[in-house]
Each structure stands twice: as C-alpha cells, then as structure tokens.
Structure 1
C-alpha cells in the first residue's frame, strides 16, 4: 500500500467526525490538500456553519464526467469495547483500524491519494469530487450539494459512491423513511383510570396498526433484494412516569425501509387517518387536550440503476468484477440519481466491520480500490 494512502488515512481517522460533532477540521484538511495541488473547491455549509460539504472538479469544463463521492461523518464509539484507539490509525496484520476506516474514510483516502495522478495527465472529461456530512443520520447533509448539482451547467453524468462493498459493484439499495409519533393523553391517579387517557395504550394501538401496514407492504416483492420486500419496524418507545399514574405522554420512533419505487407516503396517510378517525375522537371525548402528532425524522430514496447500462459495464471493468448486487444499507445514491446523475456504489472494506468496535479496512481492499481508480484514470485520459 502506498505511503500516500496510509498517511492520508491516518490524518482522516484522527478527526472525530462523529455526526454530532463538526466536520470542519477534516474539511479544512481536504481543502488545503486540494488547494496545494491547484484544485479549486467549493463548500456548502449547514445553517450553523459548523459542518460542510466539499465539492471540487478536475479536468476540462463542461457537462458530464464521473463523480467520486463519500461521506465524512462516522457513527459514535460510545459504549463499544474498542481495543484499538478509535481516532487514530493502527496497522496490524494487514489491516488499518480506526473509526471510519471502512465506512468510509478508506475510500476518501484512496480518492485523495489518486488526485495527483488524475492531474498529471489530460482528461477528456471532468472528474468531480463530493464529500458530504451527516450521512449517518439520514443522508441529511448532502442535500445542499444535490440542490447545486440539479441546476449546475457542469453536472456529472455518473457517480461512484465508495461505501464499503468489498469492491463489488452495487446497483441498488432500499430507501428509508423514519418517523416519530408523539401521543399526548391525560394523566390521573390509576385508581381513576377511566378519567384519564392512557398515552401508552393509544400508542400501542398505533403500533398494532403499523404491524398490519407492514404486512401489506411485504406483499410487494423484488427477489434482487434481501429481504425481498419493504420492512417496517418500531425501534424505540418511551412513556409513563409511574405505575400508579395513567401515562400522559408516549413517544415512539419507527422506520420503513422500502424497495425502490414503492410509495410509502400512502402508508403514513393511512396511519394518520386511523389516528384522526378512530383514536382521537375517543381520546378527546375524555380530555379535549389529547393529541397525536407525527414528525418526519429523515428520508432518502432507494437506488436502482440498470446493471446492464454502459456505466455498469465500465465500472465492472474498472473494478475487475462483473458480479453486480444490491445491499441492505442505504446511501446517498438515490439522491444523486434523482438529480439526474447515474449512480453506482463500490468501495473498499465491508459493512461487516463498519459501525463496530475495532472497525478496520484491509490493505488488500485499499489496493483494489487504488487499482479501480487507476483504471478509471486510464479510461478518462484524453
């Protein structure tokens, strides 16, 4: 493995870019690195100017070309039994350890280490670089960059997202909708239960309705995905204060991971109608202040790119693997695809290591990624 990749990866891992933290120090490092190479960059900051996407392009002006994209944020290490320092590079037995090494700073290091090679030769089309924030909390940060691309006169034609796929080309994943439901009842002493509105009981009715709606979603199937249908599950629930008090409040979060093309707004509409027509009248008959509120938490579309397309054929050549597949986890790919940029996913490492203690990416995987980028550079040469 080249010293450049190792050195850059070590610097990237040293930045704690957990989604709750700022990513600006890492972005400043990348911006400085690219500026020294003569590459102009553009930042898209969040509302608080504490996080930013970075966008850059190399090569000739004009539409088209290939974009290499990855997120800079990582998941927390809190409560995980790490035996290696999470925010430092540790090299052991052919592996580079550190939070984000697989998901997905290993890919970012390879891309950055490859930039001098792309600059050293004339390109017949532009190479775009896109590094985002807050992917791990619902693909939230990249949206300002996507909005820019939608109206840009120099939009890339193709995008490779370097999520960890063991360098296997991926053409599809499910979309996700995450929601929060807040039920407000009416508290009273449990000896007088009929005078109260039990928020937990009404939350349970809503959860039972979600179970039925999930079963309906599962009737539409696509064998290219695992599981081959859309799934719906409740992940957290909180409510009540004491056993002898009818609970006034209950809150639960749920998510739908849906097949590409499956419309989930109708599921939420049916749940809201059930709340309005059947639950709220009974609740407000006892206490007029009772209420049920639904709040979207995050949402991103699924991805389904034609694995028989020219782009897929080219990627198979670049990464020396024509076994296209789908993945269970989500990416920013569906958002780029909606912006008119054909998107595939391929990157070093495995999600089997991502998000876990002692996360790592193997040297062999990084070498394969560098090989893919070298093949891409040859294909893009003028």
Structure 2
C-alpha cells in the first residue's frame, strides 16, 4: 500500500466527524486539496452552516460520466472499549484502525489519492465526486446534492457508492422509513384510573397493531435479500413517571426496512386510520385533549440495479469480482438512483468491522480499491 493512501487516511481519521459534530473542517480540507489539483468544487451547506456536502467534477464538459460517492460522517465512539485512539490512524498486523476506517474514510482516501491520475489524463467523460454528511442518521444530508443532480443537465450516468462491501459489487439494499409516535393521554391518581387516559396502554395497542402490520409485510418476498421480506420493529419506548400516576405521555419510535418497490405508505395510513377511528374516540370520551401524533424521522428508498446491465458488467471488471450480492444496510444509493443516476455499491472493508470498537480496514482491501480505481481510469480513457 502506498504511503500516500496511508497518509491521506490518517488525515481523514483525525477529523472527528461524528454525525453530531460539524464536518466543515474535513470538507474544507478536501476542497482545498481538490482545488489545488484544478478540480471544480461546489459546497451545499445545511441550514445551520455547520455541515456541508461537497460536489466536484473534472474532465470534459457535458452529460454522463461516473460519480464516486461517500459520506464523511461516522458513528460515535462513546461508550465503546477501544484499545487504540479512535480518531487517529493505528497500523497493526496489516490493518489500519480508527473510527470510520471501514465506514467509509478508507474509500474516501483511495478516491482522493487517485484524483491526480484522473486529472492528468484526457478523460473521454467526466469524473464526478460526491462527499456528503449525516448519512449515518438516515441519509439526511445528501438531499440537497440529490436535488442539484436532478436539476442538472450535466449529471453523471453512473455512480459507485464506496460503502464497505469487501470490494464485492452490490446491486441492492432495502429502503427504510423511521417514525415516531407520540401518545398524549390524561393523568390522574392511579386509585381513580377510569378518570385518566393511560398513554402507555394506548401506545401498547398501537404497537400491537404494528406487530400485525409487520406480519402482513412478510407476504411479499424477494430471495435476493436476507431476510427476504420487509421487516418492522419498535426500537425505543418512553412513558410514565411513577407507578401511582396514570401516565399522561408515551412515545415510541419504530422503523420499516422494506424491499425495493414495496410501498410502505399504506402501512402508515392503516396505522393512522386505526388511531383515528378506534383509539382516539375512546380516549377523548374521557379527556378531549387526548391525541396521537406521528412524526417521520428519516426515510430513504431501496436500491435494486440490474446486475446484468452494462454498468454491472463494467464494475465487475474494474473490481475483478463478478460475485454480485445485496447488503442488509442502507445507503444513499437509492436516492441517486431515483435522481436518474444508475448506482452500484463497492468499497473496501466490511460492515462486520464498521460501527464497532477497534474498527479497521485492511491494507489488502485498500490495495484492491486502488486497483479498481485504476481500472476505472483506464476505461474512462478508452
């Protein structure tokens, strides 16, 4: 592995880009690096101006070309038992350790080190680069960049999202919808429970309804995925104060991880209808102020690209692997695909190491990624 990739990865790992933090220092580092190579860049700031997407392109003007995409944020290292510093590069036993080394700063380092070679060659099509924020909290940050691509006359034709897949090409993943339900009841002394509206009990009725709806989702199956059907689960619940007070409030969060093409709006509509027609009338007969509210937290579409397409065939050649598969985790790929950019996923490292203490990417995986990018560059010259 070249010293350039190691040094670039060390620079990227040193930026604490946990999703709760700003990513601007890292973004400005990348922008200055690319600008110094003569690459055009554009920033898309969030409303607070604390975070930004970076979009760049080099090569000939016009529609088409290939986009290399990765997110800059990482999950927290808090509460994890690390044996090495999480925000520094540690090299041991053929591995580079650090938070985000696998997910997915290893890929970003390979891309950035490869840019000078792309810039130095007479490309026959544009090379696009996309670096986003807040992917780890629901693919939230990339939306402004996706909107730009949808409106652009010069958007790329193809995209490789460099999430960790052990350098195996991936053509699909499930979509996700995360929701919050807030139940507002009426408190009273527990000795007079009929005078109150127990928010926890009504939340339990809603959760029981969700369980039934989740069972219905399993009827549609696709053996390309594991599990081969859409899933629904309640992840958190909070309500009540003390045992002798009928709880006034209860809140729970749930998610649906759905197969590509499966519409989940009908599930939410049925849950809302159940709340409106069966639960709220009973609650409001006791206390008119009772309410049930639903709030979307995050949503992204699934991805299902044809593994027999020309793009898939080319990616198999670039990464020297035709072992196409799907992954259980979500990515920004479905959003790019919806914007009209054919998208596949392939990157160094494994999600078996991502999000865990002592996260690492192997030197061998980075070498394979650099080879894929070199093959891509050769193809873009042909």
2:102 maps to 102
Note the residue ranges of structure 2 that are not aligned, 5 or more in a row.
Answer: none
Match of 2:34 in 1: 34
Q: Quick one: distance in 2 between partners of 1:291 and 1:283? A: 8
Deviation at 1:121, TM superposition (A): 1.0
Aligned to 1:238: 238
Cα distance between partner residues in 1 of 2:273 and 2:35: 54
Q: Distance between the aligned counterparts of 1:4 and 1:44, measured in 2?
A: 28
TM-score (norm 1): 1.00
Partner of 1:218: 218
**3-state SS in 2 of match to 1:234:** strand
Looking at structure 1, the residues matched to 331 and 134 of structure 2 have their Cα atoms a distance apart, in angstroms, of 11
SS in 1 for 2:331: coil
Q: Does 1:84 align with 2:87?
A: no
Q: Give per-residue Cα distances to partners, 1:273-318, cap 9 Å, x unaligned.
A: 0000000000000000000000000000000000000000000000
Q: Deviations over 1:73-116 (max 9, x none)?
A: 00011111111100000000000000000000000000000001
Counterpart in the other structure of 1:204: 204
**Counterparts of 2:45 and 2:56, CA distance in 1:** 15
Partner of 1:290: 290
Aligned-partner Cα distance in 2 for 1:105–1:169: 18
Residue in 2 aligned with 1:53? 53
2:88 aligns to what SS in structure 1?
Answer: coil
Give TM-score scaled by structure 2 length. Answer: 1.00
How far does residue 38 in structure 1 lie from its aligned partner after superposition? 1.1
Which whole-Å CA distance do the structure 2 matches of 1:298 and 1:318 have between them?
33
Alpha-carbon shift at residue 241 of structure 1 (Å): 0.1
Q: What does 1:135-284 align with in structure 2 at a 5 Å threshold?
A: 135-284=135-284
Tell me how far apart the structure 1 counterparts of residues 184 and 120 of structure 2 sit (CA, whole Å). 63
- Aligned equivalent of 1:67: 67
Question: SS of the counterpart of 1:55?
Answer: strand
Question: C-alpha separation between the residues in 1 aligned to 2:82 and 2:234?
Answer: 29
The runs of at least 4 consecutive aligned structure 1 residues that moved more than 3 Å come to: none
Does the residue aligned with 1:222 lie in a helix, a strand or coil? coil
How far off its partner does 1:36 sit?
1.1
The equivalent residue for 1:2 is: 2
Aligned partner of residue 255 in structure 1, secondary structure: strand
Q: Which runs of 5+ in 1 are unaligned?
A: none
Structure 1 position 210, deviation (Å): 0.1
1:44 aligned onto 2:44? yes
Distance in 1, Cα, partners of 2:182 & 2:119: 53
Superposition deviation, residue 119 in structure 1: 1.1
What's the offset of the Cα at 1:168? 0.3
Provide the rounded CA distance (Å) in 1 between the counterparts of 2:293 and 2:233: 18
How do residues 330-369 of structure 1 correspond to structure 2 at under 5 angstroms?
A: 330-369=330-369
**Could you say what secondary structure the match of 1:321 adopts?**
coil
Post-superposition offset of 1:125: 0.3
Displacement after TM superposition at 1:3 (Å): 1.0
- Three-state SS of the structure 1 residue aligned to 2:26 is helix
Match in the other structure for 1:307:
307
Rounded to whole Å, the distance in 2 between the matches of 1:378 and 1:176 is 36
Deviation readout 1:48-93 (Å, 9 max, x if unpaired): 1100000000100000000000000000111111111000000000
Match of residue 19 from structure 2: 19
Give per-residue Cα distances to partners, 1:191-213, cap 9 Å, x unaligned.
00110000000000000000000
CA distance in 2, matches of 1:26, 1:186: 49
Partner Cα separation in structure 1 for residue 28 and residue 120 of structure 2:
24
